[in-house]
Structure 1
């Protein structure tokens, strides 16, 4: 292993916020804490509807990413009632059984008041604030309202998928309500107060009502004012999209994430466009726990009807450098996480 630094910031105890966390969640957190500051896990977001990304990465590097990102978007009631379907839960279960690590986000389509105007405000884009009139602030202020009841309905629907994962022993790096401070999603459109309240509501409902103990809570609000408190956050994530072929370590954002709390929390690059240069990560002292390259054109292009690796955002030589580097871990490098030591 590479000993990046003796900085105390990178010594994180594997204590999950849920005291009833499952053994596999505890094992995964113990592994992440053991690796933090020493190794970064490679990661890739799966595409929506089709997910050629892992096989394209394999073809380009000979290796699979350690972490695969999935999305509960098309399990949202406001989308399923319009015909949306998804296989992401099944794909995630398969990925875990093949020895990989699973992370989920949730592009949560607003529970009601979708504008449904083509093309930019279509219902399929109902997670964006400009595609819905849903008022999260009003909903959170009135627990007797229809809007609040629909929030609970949606959370309960997603709980069914998370329970399927729990039943299969899959621990989930769970990243809901992401990028809230940007304001482009409805859950962040009314400022930090309603969003923090929704985060806490979701934690309490999923954990205490539904008994979902397989979740490691990855907060991705991206601004200190939106931080819900150490007792509600296991890991802090930053989503960063630098310009094409910019391989900087993003150390300033790493330090910003460290500043959100005085507690030692793992910091991760929960979404990225171009990959960071692993040598710069070491040089700059920015040991993101894992990275997760976004899907689609960030990874591939079409060439005569065939999908091939695209160098638009990350050149092939940098992709291979990262996947071959002694600082990084691929799926092939992971231990048996069902047998990893319990903290």
Structure 2
């Protein structure tokens, strides 16, 4: 994108903008996809939709340098309202997800919409885990504590929506104890309560999540065996209320 496009893309899809109708067509397309997600019982599959993430950086056209707080919030509310009220999407949880550039609740909430427009509050964090040692672990934990406390107060789901440490065979070796020590401490210390964590994907020449035989595979298996860690395929039945509830 050109600098002009970056500075005007978000503004152009707001009501009255030249690309507003085009943006609604994109939301129509998203709706068609979500309506196709049907489980074996015939019910719609719930999904997480995380639009306009890492907005506190400048690498996306919705970043903080390219729109005001008011414009960002307006776009968020427009998106949620159009999907839920106009298109009747009801199998989507909306996730609010800045990068890790905040250090306080007020910074985290600077571009937050109202509670009724958000179901999940998270953050993406690569930097604090990128070979930053114990200091990085503590910074990550402090930020997750902010997210965890806010979600408990507002009755939302807390999450570490993207994270990873890339391991390559040549440039970046595995960090000893990265999963069992660094990540686990960041996710659990100071009574942090995180609902889910998502790792970035693996490439042909580098990985975030090890497969059997790779240097950090044992570390990862020890991490997932901890009592506070549950993999997606081990989750209990979440959509059926227990008896007498």
TM-score normalised over the length of structure 1: 0.52
Relative to 1, partners in 2 of residues 1:281 and 1:138: Cα closer, same or farther, differing over 3 Å?
Answer: closer
Q: How much has 1:265 moved relative to structure 2?
A: 2.6
Taking the aligned partners of 1:258 and 1:336, their CA distance within structure 2 comes to: 23
Taking the aligned partners of 2:145 and 2:186, their CA distance within structure 1 comes to: 15
Which of the numbers 125, 137, 141 marks the counterpart of 1:240?
125
Which residue number corresponds to residue 59 of structure 2?
184
TM-score normalised over the length of structure 2: 0.71
Taking the aligned partners of 2:10 and 2:74, their CA distance within structure 1 comes to: 10
> What is the 5 A alignment of 1:285-324?
285-296=191-202, 297-299=206-208, 311=215, 315-324=216-225
Q: How much has 1:267 moved relative to structure 2?
A: 1.6
Which residue number corresponds to residue 146 of structure 2?
256
Unaligned segments of structure 2, at least 5 residues: 100-107, 166-178
Which of the numbers 153, 159, 162 marks the counterpart of 1:271?
162
Per-residue CA deviation, residues 2-31 of structure 1 (Å, 9 max, x unaligned), is: xxxxxxxxxxxxxxxxxxxxxxxxxxxxxx
Which residue number corresponds to residue 11 of structure 2?
137
| RMSD (Å) for aligned C-alpha atoms | 3.1
SS in 2 for 1:182: coil
Which residue number corresponds to residue 48 of structure 2?
173
> What is the 5 A alignment of 1:1-343?
114-115=1-2, 132=6, 134-140=8-14, 143-165=15-37, 169-188=44-63, 189-222=66-99, 223-241=108-126, 242-244=129-131, 248=137, 250-258=140-148, 263-274=154-165, 275=179, 276-278=182-184, 281-296=187-202, 297-299=206-208, 311=215, 315-341=216-242
Per-residue CA deviation, residues 260-311 of structure 1 (Å, 9 max, x unaligned), is: 685243221011114454356434322321111111233379xxxxx87655
Aligned residues, how many?
207
